[in-house]
Structure 1
């Protein structure tokens, strides 16, 4: 299995190199040169597997022998041993809804599904091949803590996580800043998540800096993130379909950075019988506007009750452009040049028709988010986090959809309290966070400031 850049300006690489590279050296995102197809009889065989065994089957197609199957199996088992539910991502039914719970990992968010695996992949590859890795990532809330918990205390690794000061929930902030391992570095930037994402891309695009300091990525620009998240689409389909390849299922996906829905899109290209992929956004509705108009144009970043989705420029959108244009990297580059120059890009009528065949999309207001939390609670006593609530709201007229529950509601009790007048009970992983000691560095939202911190830290402790 070879991986190529969405911008077509680097030679193909194998799986291990793709994981360690993160962002392609031409600034693009790495994608498989060929998406493997899963035949109906294999889908049927997969449908009853436990999550870990299914993950082994899906990942093995893309690892393609670069990690021995027995080693890959051990990595997967270790990665999901920290999850508190035996099914890892259980599918539950409540009040007429199907909800895929993705929050049973150590930080109570769906990012754990990928980042527990990615941390172990990094550790395995570094031990096997030598060297060290310095992870730099930006977070709108959940990625940062999941990344930190994935690599905390691991040899040969430092992790630097940027979050927008005052724009993540108090629980999200404390999940990051109370991890005091020597290899963990939290940075609060005076700006937005998009500022943080821009800084991270600047660091990776400075090839001399990236090479000197051995930078790696944990944001969903890293292909392994998308790969790991594909597994739960297959898993949920198997629970609903009973293995019938004719049984099609829809998924509603709260999204800001397009990574989670990108995983579903690729799973469908592999042959998973997905009827509709529903993109749920909040007021920061660049993705839903694109689905409806074919125009991708950033506006101001609004603070909402679903802060992990307070994003305008979605980093995984470039992967979709690549597939939308049938792997035409020159077309992708032209569109990205339009975006850089004009602040917008647009696709033609035929491409827009394909976009609308691929996705349904809805932008959900804070008022509707609260109403959905209230309605779902009244119907069955089940508490949604505000991000999950946007997905449930977006799916309300789309038939029998599986709604992805992306975080435990106790991470967003301010919104929960406003909706139902009470807080969600905290899982053990979130209890006592606000009383723990914390460590964080505050910086201006500039590439230079972050570079200086990374440089000075690594020169003191190169690991």
Structure 2
């Protein structure tokens, strides 16, 4: 039973329980304290496909799942749902190496985890058990979770997004989601408000007791759930393998990864890969103008007591990056008392400061920079004009950070491209074709015609699909709504045989 809480609950649980719960009972996040014992570099370099790599990582980190269960989950997640056989291809554009993570059904990197999570979640449930899956989203997680869990037996999926805080394309993706078991709610407030409420709901013991009486429970689809995080480890190894295969690097050579960052899950998955043997020199952590994480990695002080900014990169409009808690656990040598104190300070004061020694350890692996909207627009324009590559605002924040920190890096650097540029056509058009006009769907089609970069099929027809009206809630109303949804899930699954 390898999983314990970052906050000191050492009642270890197996992977299925950790995934089913989402968060630990003490409010912490589940971690494998022995992750560095899984040295996977050699077997991953010998694997023959992305699917084979996924099975290797999952077998190491989810040991209570059978080989047949993992093979079935991997096949269901990655056989027919991505439009590139490499799943996460590396594109070489001049001197850039770009890891494209947007070839899944919703054109965002969240598909990598959320195509797999529903299958391993279903395998973790008891035969009569139902689960309500909650997803707080700053844009991309919402649709990816809805698509992944759509009509999965014994599950219901509810996404909460900040009203007015996602792009029109992202919102339309969520509102056109199908499935008998999907619900979309717009929250008054920002992503942090929604995520905080979801965490509180997951740790509500009275609600848990009420739901247990009807064999129901709630869990999370965000990367606070280790089942969402683990699948993302795979594409770091896959990117490295692609570079080795095309003689861009030698096996064993140190490289860097640049990662646009909001909730810190994507870059943490890369650090997991490093702990498991991947030769990584530095991770470039890129934020937008909401630069709490970048400032923390530069100074050692995490302080969310600042204005919350709405930017052209809305999926990074986050000031409480939950997965930093896991990084602090590992970098402190598993000091759960320290993590507990730091998280208590964050809840009470909105800030905490780490020791110079811990900061030095963080900076040994991570460098950071931020990019405001002007820098993001400049980066989109530069990448297109200089390299003919069209990138979304989040990838552009990474590109800007990578350029600004180039002097701090040696060797090959891989930039993670986290979403299709067509999810944010207004920001992209402003940078590369300001003469274009119209709504987001008009701009999407005009950009494709002007640049010759294909528009993904799943986005091009969104404006022709029927859209639901979202439920509108305050964060305070979320617990009662969740209880209603969970009990409705039990009733509905009994009625329709889900």
TM class, shorter-chain normalised?
over 0.9
User: Following the alignment from structure 2 to structure 1, what is the Cα–Cα distance between the partners of residues 117 and 23?
Assistant: 15
What whole-Å deviation, never above 9, does each CA across 1:54-89 have from its counterpart, x for those lacking one?
11111111122x222133112101101211111000
Of residues 426, 435, 446, the one that matches 2:475 is 446
Indicate conservation of the 8 Å contact 2:133/2:156, yes or no.
yes
1:157 match: 155
SS in 1 for 2:35: coil
Indicate conservation of the 8 Å contact 1:10/1:25, yes or no.
no
Structure 1 outlier segments of 4+, above 6 Å: none
Q: Which runs of 5+ in 2 are unaligned?
A: 212-216, 434-445, 449-453, 494-498
Verify: 1:325 aligned to 2:347, yes or no. Answer: no
2:268 match: 262
Deviation of the 1:362 alpha carbon = 0.3
Verify: 1:106 aligned to 2:105, yes or no. Answer: yes
Deviation of the 1:442 alpha carbon = 3.7
User: Following the alignment from structure 1 to structure 2, what is the Cα–Cα distance between the partners of residues 382 and 125?
Assistant: 42
Deviation of the 1:114 alpha carbon = 0.4
Greater shift in the superposed pair: 333-342 or 388-397: 333-342
Give matches, 1:81-100, under 5 Å.
81=79, 82-100=81-99
1:223 match: 226
Indicate conservation of the 8 Å contact 2:54/2:231, yes or no.
yes
Greater shift in the superposed pair: 71-80 or 309-318: 71-80
SS in 2 for 1:438: coil
Q: For residues 344 and 56 of structure 1, do their structure 2 counterparts lie closer, same or farther at Cα, with a shift above 3 Å needed?
A: same
SS in 2 for 1:361: strand
User: Following the alignment from structure 2 to structure 1, what is the Cα–Cα distance between the partners of residues 296 and 88?
Assistant: 30
What whole-Å deviation, never above 9, does each CA across 1:104-129 have from its counterpart, x for those lacking one?
10000000000000011122333x64
What whole-Å deviation, never above 9, does each CA across 1:15-60 have from its counterpart, x for those lacking one?
11111111111100000021144558x5266255311111111111
User: Following the alignment from structure 1 to structure 2, what is the Cα–Cα distance between the partners of residues 408 and 45?
Assistant: 27
2:447 match: 423
Deviation of the 1:307 alpha carbon = 0.3
2:425 match: 413
Q: For residues 238 and 20 of structure 1, do their structure 2 counterparts lie closer, same or farther at Cα, with a shift above 3 Å needed?
A: same
Verify: 1:287 aligned to 2:293, yes or no. Answer: yes
Q: Which runs of 5+ in 1 are unaligned?
A: none
What whole-Å deviation, never above 9, does each CA across 1:408-453 have from its counterpart, x for those lacking one?
1100000110010062442111121123222243434323x11222
Deviation of the 1:353 alpha carbon = 1.0
Indicate conservation of the 8 Å contact 1:21/1:216, yes or no.
yes
Deviation of the 1:454 alpha carbon = 2.4
Q: For residues 270 and 264 of structure 1, do their structure 2 counterparts lie closer, same or farther at Cα, with a shift above 3 Å needed?
A: same
Give matches, 1:273-352, under 5 Å.
273-298=279-304, 299-352=306-359
SS in 1 for 2:28: coil
Q: How many residues align?
A: 459
TM-score (norm 2): 0.89
TM-score (norm 1): 0.95
